[in-house]
Amino acid sequence: MKAGNWMGRHRSLARAFWIGALLLCWELSVKLLHVSPLLFPPIEEVLRVMGESFLRGDLFYQTFFSLGVILWGLLIGVVLAFLLALLSVRSQVMESLTDALTAIAHPLPGIAILPLIIMWFGTGTGAIVAIIVHSALWPVLLNLTAGFRAVPKIYLDVGHNLSLRPLAITWEIRVRASFSYLLSGLKIGWARAWRALISAEMVFGAIGSKGGLGWYIFKQRTFMNTAGLFAGIILVIAIGMAVEELVFNRLERCTIQKWGMSAQ
């Protein structure tokens, strides 16, 4: 078994162990301390509410609605980051501009610019997409720009000597050589965008016919359905962990580790 696969499986087993231990502590605390279900419901109640919500179709629709919105926002953010990173390596003026923009906007939480976004985009899906773009754009741009700058000059010289076109040099050399940076930026961008999406949905309410996961969590809090509240939170965590493992970690194993660009 390869070292990368062994480490990935070992990490997954360790996570599963600790998650199981935490769930056991949760259940024992509820049973032994007789905590009120309004404050801390038992696990079986949370699972029952989650299952009923999926069977009704509400939670199923809201989950896919949120995933659809975040995919659009991430796609726009990655494309903008890619274009700005390319311009920054070709022009010192653009390099200075993107550096200044990143320094200004990267530390700024998406929730802090909600009043401006509401004024500019209203309270519809466009406003949520704008928050996602803001949350994902800057970490991806920061990492991708760093990756482009770290590409050894000899790689580019080889591309020019082979008479490769600029587009081929960009894709075959710059992107591949800096893919580890890009993947790191995507991980950070996804995490920030996912948090921003849930927060924005809780603020804006139902966007679309039934809203997303953030709206589901907000509704459970409004009706004092603590089990439903925990069900929504657990689902948000589960989706975040699933995307990390099934998308980013698998992509890393198929690219960076396969290409010998990983330290493992």
Q: In the 8-state DSSP scheme, what is residue 37?
A: T
Give the pLDDT band (50/70/90) at residue 261: low
8 Å CB contact between 190 and 136? yes
At 7 the pLDDT is 52
Cα of 5 vs its chain's centroid, Å: 23
Give the pLDDT band (50/70/90) at residue 262: low
At 1 the pLDDT is 46
| Structure token pair of residue 205 | 């309410």
| Structure token pair of residue 206 | 């139902």
Q: Specify the pTM.
A: 0.82
* CB contact burial 180-196 (16+ within 10 A = b; e otherwise): bbbbbbbbbbbbbbbbb
Q: What is the pLDDT of residues 152-201, one digit of tens each?
A: 778 777 777 777 777 777 777 777 777 888 888 899 999 999 998 888 88
Give the pLDDT band (50/70/90) at residue 263: very low
Mean pLDDT over all residues of the chain?
82
Dihedral in degrees, nearest 10, Cα atoms 163, 167, 168, 172: 140
Cα–Cα distance, 25 to 18 (Å, whole number): 10
Mean pLDDT of 64-88: 91
pLDDT more than 70, % of the chain: 90
Residue 133 confidence (pLDDT) above 60: yes
Give the pLDDT band (50/70/90) at residue 128: confident
Q: What is the pLDDT of residues 91-110, one digit of tens each?
A: 888 888 888 988 888 888 87
CA atoms within 13 A on the CB side of 21: 6
Give the pLDDT band (50/70/90) at residue 219: confident
At 59 the pLDDT is 83
Q: What is the pLDDT of residues 23-64, one digit of tens each?
A: 888 888 888 888 777 788 888 888 999 988 888 877 888 888
